[in-house]
Amino acid sequence: MKKIAVIASFFLVNFIFSQEKEKINFFGGFESNSQWYLNDNGLRVVHPENPVRSNNYLLLNLKYKNWNAGVQVESYAEKALLNFNPEYKKTNVGTYYFQYKAKKIDLTAGYFYEQFGSGLLFRSWEDRTLGLNNSLRGGRVIFKPTDFLTFKTIAGQQRSGFKVSNGRIYGFDAEIGLSKALKFESTELGVGFTYVGRDEEKTEENPKYASLTNAFAGRINFSRNSFYLSSEYNYKSKDAIVEAQQLENDFIKPGTALLMNLGYSKKGFGIDGTFRRLENMSFYSERKGKGNLYNDKIMNFVPSLTKQHHNNLANIYVYQAQPNVSMLDESVLKSGEIGGQIDVFYTFKKGTSIGGNKGTKVALNCSNWFGLNGYYSISDPRDYKSDFMAFGKKYFSDYNIEITKKWNDKWQSIFLYINQYYNKKQIEETYGLVKTNIISLEATYKISPSKSVRILAEHMWADSDKKNWASSTVEFNANSKLSFFASDIYNYGNDNLEARNHYYNIGSSYRKNSTRVAFSYGRQRGSLMCVGGVCRIVPESTGNSLSLNTAF
């Protein structure tokens, strides 16, 4: 298949260059992320076999009139970075596509990315930081007969490493813009409907589940002036539960998801609330893909709906969405999650006692997540029945306030306070409960329009686990192109004296036009790395890092 793609790309390039050259658009990009892992006696880390590793991506695209074609070549020398999918190895064609796009019709063959609604049933996307690429190899048709109707149809198999998974995925989505159809002037109203099917051959003897799992969703979006409201309900047909990558042929359950968002926003003030209930809503292109550590074969998008902090210490205890059924013993009985978050911001105007000369912005955020209450039985027959709106054991909470103050044209400060509750036993299925209080103080001094210094100091008080932490960061932007940084995270409160480690890092980056190069040296704290509420496990390590990113 890859050879066919390369040959087809060659002939397409020759065809295009034989046409009117002034109408040809060639563009792409290259990204390289490399790591040289080193031994570290202080962390008791021994570098892996093949300590020099690199993830590289070359993307090439051609556009001629309504035709588009592209290919992404990937190289992992000699192996991929630690804790990336082990199927990423050596050099190969990762994705390719051919597309015809006109006003009403969009046809794609090869690999493509797509999302239906909020993504709770289906989303394919790429995030190289997370090692995630779950594009579909197959075909997609987008048809827009009018400006208020959009129909999408997809079929294919999901990418897994340089291969595809066994399950076949089918989908249809319809989006209807009622406000355009009814010619509303100040109101936006739209509805949508989704179907997704996953067909995977059954391998068990006398299976009690169907090979085809069907999923349906309906959604509505409404906004008027500064007010907006959206809601989506999803249903997944009965399928075998998978626990610890073992398929339970006698444990067959459906899945559901409810998502609601409500908000009001105008200049200087905004409030936004999100509610979500998930029950057995993990969805993989292969049933036994559930539980893998590499974000592989996942079909839907289930991010954690909490504030995405950018501070070092706020990301030690990171909540991960809990859509799965897990009934390990009487102390861990889970079938999903229920909860939400509320965001509020207000800007005090200039000239007021709090606003001062430049104004002051205050942002409040509150998130709470719980298990689903109900009946659970771990003995034969294994079963559960959850109550739809009953809150069970508390998993996580994060209450925080952020105050951003610009004092004058040179000084700006940010104060952040966070209170967290992290039920490690339920979230990680290990042990323990951690309560934390975090304070962060950040100051930025602008020396000139292109030169500045940023200083960040943080402290965490934790009542258990690894106890107290302290962190500091200094960043110097020499100009619009060159910057330097140094940071340290210190677990000074650990009851294990030998584990009171410093996680220090120093580095620099240089940017010119569309090219950025960055280098750093230091220690990586073993943790979760999260982007947009989706995470991957990063191992404890020490070494040098080099990254290059350019577009052309």
pLDDT along the chain (552 residues), means of 10: 49 50 86 97 94 97 96 94 94 97 97 98 96 97 97 98 96 96 93 98 88 98 97 97 89 97 96 98 94 91 95 95 93 96 96 88 98 93 92 97 96 97 95 97 96 98 97 97 98 96 98 97 93 91 98 96
Domain match, 332 and 419 both:
yes
For residues 328 and 291, membership in a common domain is answered with: no
Domain containing 412: what range?
Answer: 308-552
Looking at the structure of the chain, the number of domains it has is: 3
CATH number at residue 318: 2.40.160
297 and 348 share one domain:
no
97 with 143, same domain: the answer is no
Is the pTM value of this prediction over 0.85? Answer: yes
- Statement to judge: residues 420 and 491 lie in one domain: yes
**CA angle at residue 463 from 458 to 465, to 5 degrees?**
90
In a domain, residue 447? The reply is: yes
Residue 236 falls inside a structural domain = yes
Of the candidates 237, 248, 235, 246, the residue with the CA atom closest to the CA atom of residue 290: 246
Residue that finishes a domain, picked among 71, 101, 131: 101
Whether the CB-CB separation of 439 and 414 falls below 8 Å is answered with no
| Residue that is last in its domain, among 66, 81, 101 | 101
The answer to whether residue 69 sits within a structural domain is yes
Return the pLDDT at 78. Answer: 80
- Estimate to the nearest angstrom the gap between the alpha carbon of 239 and the chain centroid: 26
pLDDT attached to residue 7:
45
pLDDT of residue 147: 94
> Six-digit token pair at 489?
């995270």
Residue 82, classified by CB atoms within 10 Å of its CB into exposed (0-12), middle (13-18) or buried (19+), is middle
Q: Are residues 94 and 117 in the same domain?
A: no
Measured between alpha carbons, how far is 542 from 82 in angstroms, rounded to an integer?
Answer: 12
Clarify whether residues 314 and 260 are in a common domain: no
> Is residue 490 in some structural domain?
yes
Same domain as 261, residue 402: no
pLDDT of residue 39: 97
Q: Which of 72, 101, 130 is the last residue of a domain?
A: 101
Q: Do 256 and 339 belong to one domain?
A: no
Residue 106 lies in a domain: no
- What pLDDT does 22 receive? 56
Query: Looking at the structure, do residues 350 and 475 belong to the same domain, yes or no?
Result: yes
What does the pLDDT read at residue 268? 93
Does 107 reside within a domain? no
> Which one, of 30, 49, 25, 53, lies nearest residue 39 by Cα?
49
